[in-house]
Amino acid sequence: MTRLNAAPAPDVGYDRSQPCGIVHLGTGAFHRAHQAAYFDALMRAGEAGWMIRGSSLRSPRVAEQMNPQDGLFTMLVRDGVEDRAQLIGSVKSVLVAPEDPAALVAALAEPAVRLVTLTITEKGYCIDPASGALRMEDPGVQADLTDLSTPRTAPGFLVAGLRARREAGLAPFTVLSCDNLPHNGQRTREAVLAMARAVDPDLADWIAEEGAFPSSMVDRIVPATLAEDIDALEASTGYRDEAMVKTEPFTQWVVEDWFVGPRPPLEKVGVQFTRDVAG
């Protein structure tokens, strides 16, 4: 078995050694077939600085699939009976937050990072579905409020990363939820500010004044990858890709145009920027 990896380096059309401008929380199959594919296309179009440092907030499974492959994976686009395989190189590596939370906080505090994206499902935001308020009684939230040096929740990591940036004299990153939740940007902002206020009111004021939490809408069907899909890809390509994803040709991403500092020019690769995602 030949495992997909960067030796010898495959040609993805851009320099994969460039710094990561993005940290992504929740590097599952949907992220790989959606946001990672868009940023891959953006860098193939000549833009730089948008490599992704992935992370898992729970299981090491995705890291075990992707890190031996240097973050590379195949996106198989299925259009009827026709399959088109594309190598995606935009993810550099995947961190496992529960194993080393400090490493993820450090990644969020990297000066090159301008954007943090999330696909963590509604439960990952630790908010009440009805009110949108941060669930202060959640065990993970309670742990983060007690000791933010080793966060456990997505809001905890965002606050810890933003606190580290403020202490280093850096601007905040833009936080972009890519989960299909109503008012996902506003709800993410409220959860982050609620945790920040409980930890450090001055930090909360800084995030409120300087930060950006755009809403977004995403759409693409990404079925679960089966063992037979991996076997079939190996038979057709000669390499084994444990991180492959399969998807449909249709894809959509609508993003509220509200960013801190430079925003990725994703309109070049089909993303729609708007003043109001819900409108």
pLDDT digits (tens, 9 = 90+) for 30-89: 999 999 999 999 999 999 999 999 999 999 999 999 999 999 999 999 988 889 999 999
Range 106-118 average pLDDT: 98
Q: What are phi and psi of 59, to 5 degrees?
A: -90, 150
Q: How many CB atoms lie within 10 A of CB 264?
A: 23
Give the residue with greater pLDDT, 45 vs 8: 45
pLDDT beyond 90 at 225:
yes
The predicted-structure confidence for 145-187, as pLDDT tens digits, reads as follows 999 999 999 999 999 999 999 999 999 999 999 999 999 999 9
User: Dihedral sign, CA of 184, 189, 194, 196?
Assistant: positive
pLDDT beyond 90 at 241:
yes
The predicted pLDDT at position 221 comes to 97
pLDDT beyond 80 at 1:
no
Residue 52 · residue 39 · CB < 8 Å: yes
Indicate the pLDDT class of residue 20, thresholds 50, 70 and 90.
Answer: very high
Q: What are phi and psi of 265, to 5 degrees?
A: -80, 60
Q: Which helix (H) or strand (E) holds 167?
A: helix 154-167
The angle, 0 to 180 degrees and rounded to 10, between the axes of the packed helices 139-146 and 154-167 is 20
Computed over every residue of the chain, the mean pLDDT equals 96
R_g of the chain computed on alpha carbons: 18
pLDDT beyond 90 at 144:
yes
Domain 20-274 annotated CATH 3.80.10.10: no
| Residue keyed to tokens 């907030």 | 57
pLDDT beyond 70 at 279:
no
- Strand 73-79 relative to strand 82-88: parallel, antiparallel, unpaired? antiparallel
Indicate the pLDDT class of residue 10, thresholds 50, 70 and 90.
Answer: confident
pLDDT beyond 80 at 6:
no
Range 2-11 average pLDDT: 82
Q: Is the pTM of this model over 0.95?
A: yes
The predicted pLDDT at position 242 comes to 97
The predicted pLDDT at position 47 comes to 97
- Strand 216-219 relative to strand 252-256: parallel, antiparallel, unpaired? antiparallel
The predicted pLDDT at position 81 comes to 81
β-pair partners for 218: 253
